[in-house]
Structure 1
């Protein structure tokens, strides 16, 4: 295994260097897996024992390097609790993804035992997609490292995401890497020149055809003129001072002042960031809440405007009405807390959306009470003060004039299909409200911004992004960032965006690729098990 370790490490380094927000190195994704494939092939062809264990170990090491290098910033959100706690807890997001990736590689090895190389490599793509889809669907979801996200800084290359979503990028990367690997193996094994020529031709075409189609689409894409004026506010309030240190009314005053500094008479939407109103508000009487009234009073000068703001809300029940409801001090009374987006108008109409894709640990407790002993530590992962109740499905906020906005709260912006659901329901642009200050001035905030470009391409919707301490921005339907703020700067920006009501193929069909790939992966696992047992019976 030692002689193959440098190959695994090289794969990890190549993938890390290629990952956002590093510019000009995206092309390394096309060869990043080749050293790992070579290392696995060397082990498979060797006479050593415990080949599966060697492959799993090497894959984990290489992918651990890639993951830690790309999401090192997770540690920054934890270090407030001290290094003795932060370091081991950081290993959960650092290690879980690599473990699942290594499992996919181990299953590839098991598939090689019962079928040929080419079929096994095709199976590896499905097994990898199955891991990615699992990692966006279960309680410990963290799809940050979905392979198709790697093109976020080179969005001109993947305009066809409007048909495939990010999983099309995953397939593209693996297809090119596998062809490069087969070309190298062909040279090493002295395969027929004609076969090598076919592989080289396929390699070139697999890169050039999607790239050419994308560049053609990018430079010929024209937005339909349907302007709406939107203001995005970045109050730049330290997330560790939001609750308790700076009074809520003062924080709201800051956002009102910034909003007025750029507002126009025709401004139709104001965006304030996640938890912009930091005091909990009872949803049943929210119209009478002093902080709600303060925000609504600001709109009096802007009669046709809608304010979309983040806030923390709660709701009482006479029974344990939801799985997340907790008992209160009053017998028989239960309550849910929510990280909410609130749509405020001059009228009495209030729209409330509860964040659905919650950060594991920070905002939701994975697997019920199993990990309850970690709750005090997890509270510092994203700044939440306890478990939130989620909303069942995506939603749309409508302005008084009928414009549909998709309220997306922070972590939710990395789920393509979830964002697409709101677009199917009528959202004409995407409004992201977030608070990225927990990660400090690291690549986390830049990656989060870059991933928003993918949502713009998938849905062909403008993205308006209000970040408390991150980077606020406007992104057009091609994925171009047309305007953005600086990090850790108090600012407000305005933009005339073009609304769009047409639905892309991806919006209409969602994550059909990973669902298909996952189904095939399950069949392959069943095939491996059945064939493995059959081989044992034959041997006996």
Structure 2
């Protein structure tokens, strides 16, 4: 049994080593699950063991928990900076353990198939179970798709240019099936057919070969626009007392002017860059001093637009939304929002939709409302932020469409693709990664932005308050990037794009294929009543 846990630890180590931000190690994902599968096969073959299903779950759980924790340890780091270590540890267990539990459940269901069916059918079912877990973990109130397997190639993007067809779920499917083909080949090494070897080798080489050709030959259509990305480097914890909103605004304008050209069309400022010591009411924001200062700043730029994060509110007479809270005889919604300001009287607002569980919204609404005050200190609200149900594009007067993607939202490929389907010609990611400190979290978040560029074939302009700001072209190459904990501004000529990729058109169809596989294999398990009608293809390994 100890050897089985050693194999589980080896899988965890390979998965961690292959994960961003470690460069060019992603191909290790092709073999990372094989030690774990060997351990599970040994459990199945050990006639002395009892409660094998639980042992399979625990063994897979060891791999998943260690891989998760080693890759997203920065979650604890961010919470421990504002809370006692023991509270931070308890809260951190939620993302550490929840994803790991779902991963282990996929292997537990695989074991149920393995008892009654062949290895090939069981591995097919495991593919569906895993992708179902990933899809669930991007869809429910505790959504955290950070560890979706397809994200693992963010640091070796030359190999996954075909994400413009499948998105990251295509990467998950690819990684899983290569592991399973190699494992099947190994367990049947004495009887493996030539066709199996050809299929396995082709399944590795052909997508890589196509991707390298696509990467080498891809040419952007020339449709230039000048942008400026600003990184003000304001301590997110000191922001609520160490620097005034006006000082922050002055810093943003000073940095913007330092690199701007007369034909700059977009100035992109980070998440919550525009704030106030009191409420910023969207209905009367034109009367605010910060708005007037931005208009004065734009006088030197004929076609200039400021796309910025903003902390805003809306007031209602009645409780028009579930998140609206009573205040002074009215109801109010607070938003983590974005705003587009130009020299006209038109203001465009976007309200962040993909909210961070706990920090920005209370998961499952009223059922867990009692824990809401616990998260107030972590930059959130006790009632949760308001949000809108779908993305919306900011349009400049020149007709340029920009996708205002706020922080956490950039992890959802399908959500960002919805902006592009609505007409966005480039992607503006505004974020504040300074909460996490100088950890790998900020680097992973930057690398994941490359995937959005490839899926949609759009330039990405990334403005991070104290993270890493960058510009990324349509192939996923980082053209410019800032350093950690430094004031900076980047001027970049980008190419706008109006072409719609297959992924933008069809979305996460690969995930739906995984859901279908999971359904069919589970159905077969439920319908199979006589376990002796077919002996499982179990081999000693």
Same fold (TM over 0.5): yes
Q: Which of residues 190, 195, 198 in structure 1 aligns to 2:195? A: 198
Shift in alpha-carbon separation, 1:318–1:529, aligned structure 2, 3 A: farther
Q: In the alignment, does 2:13 pair up with 1:13? A: yes
Distance in structure 2 (CA, Å) of the matches to 1:294 and 1:524: 61
Query: SS state of the match for residue 228, structure 1?
Result: strand
Aligned 1:58-207 pairs, distance under 5 A:
58-79=59-80, 80-187=82-189, 191-192=190-191, 195-207=192-204
Aligned 1:232-381 pairs, distance under 5 A:
232-279=229-276, 280-330=279-329, 333-381=330-378
Does the 8 Å contact 1:273/1:433 carry over to 2?
A: yes
1:478-521: CA deviation from partner (whole Å, max 9, x where unpaired):
00000011111101001000000000000011111112312332
Match of 2:53 in 1: 52
Name stretches of at least 5 consecutive residues in structure 1 with no aligned partner. Answer: none
Does the 8 Å contact 1:471/1:485 carry over to 2?
A: yes
Does the 8 Å contact 1:228/1:499 carry over to 2?
A: yes
**Deviation for aligned residue 1:338:** 0.5
Aligned 1:207-218 pairs, distance under 5 A:
207-218=204-215
Does the 8 Å contact 2:56/2:107 carry over to 1?
A: yes
Does the 8 Å contact 1:430/1:462 carry over to 2?
A: yes
Query: SS state of the match for residue 238, structure 2?
Result: coil
Distance in structure 1 (CA, Å) of the matches to 2:88 and 2:366: 21
The runs of at least 4 consecutive aligned structure 1 residues that moved more than 6 Å come to none
Does the 8 Å contact 1:242/1:278 carry over to 2?
A: no
- Give TM-score, length-normalised by structure 2: 0.95
Distance in structure 1 (CA, Å) of the matches to 2:216 and 2:118: 42
1:241-278: CA deviation from partner (whole Å, max 9, x where unpaired):
11232110110000000000011010000000000012
**Deviation for aligned residue 1:196:** 4.7
Does the 8 Å contact 2:154/2:447 carry over to 1?
A: yes
**Deviation for aligned residue 1:525:** 2.9
Does the 8 Å contact 1:182/1:199 carry over to 2?
A: no
**Deviation for aligned residue 1:524:** 3.0
Query: SS state of the match for residue 343, structure 1?
Result: strand
Q: In the alignment, does 2:25 pair up with 1:29? A: no
Shift in alpha-carbon separation, 1:23–1:101, aligned structure 2, 3 A: same
Q: In the alignment, does 2:481 pair up with 1:480? A: no
**Deviation for aligned residue 1:370:** 2.6
Query: SS state of the match for residue 528, structure 2?
Result: helix
Moved more, 372-381 or 53-62: 372-381
Shift in alpha-carbon separation, 1:286–1:175, aligned structure 2, 3 A: same
Q: Which of residues 433, 437, 451 in structure 1 aligns to 2:434? A: 437
Q: In the alignment, does 2:456 pair up with 1:459? A: yes
Match of 1:470 in 2: 467
Query: SS state of the match for residue 77, structure 1?
Result: helix
Moved more, 277-286 or 506-515: 277-286
Does the 8 Å contact 1:78/1:380 carry over to 2?
A: no
Distance in structure 2 (CA, Å) of the matches to 1:301 and 1:437: 31
Distance in structure 1 (CA, Å) of the matches to 2:114 and 2:167: 29
Does the 8 Å contact 2:119/2:184 carry over to 1?
A: no
Does the 8 Å contact 1:282/1:314 carry over to 2?
A: yes
**Deviation for aligned residue 1:373:** 3.1
Root-mean-square deviation (CA), in Å? 1.6
Distance in structure 2 (CA, Å) of the matches to 1:385 and 1:231: 31
Does the 8 Å contact 2:340/2:347 carry over to 1?
A: yes
Moved more, 296-305 or 424-433: 296-305
Q: Which of residues 513, 522, 529 in structure 2 aligns to 1:516? A: 513
Aligned residues: 529
**Deviation for aligned residue 1:390:** 1.2
- Give TM-score, length-normalised by structure 1: 0.95
Does the 8 Å contact 2:375/2:381 carry over to 1?
A: no
Distance in structure 2 (CA, Å) of the matches to 1:535 and 1:25: 42
Does the 8 Å contact 2:68/2:99 carry over to 1?
A: yes
Shift in alpha-carbon separation, 1:380–1:124, aligned structure 2, 3 A: farther
Does the 8 Å contact 2:269/2:463 carry over to 1?
A: yes
Distance in structure 1 (CA, Å) of the matches to 2:316 and 2:516: 40
Match of 1:40 in 2: 40
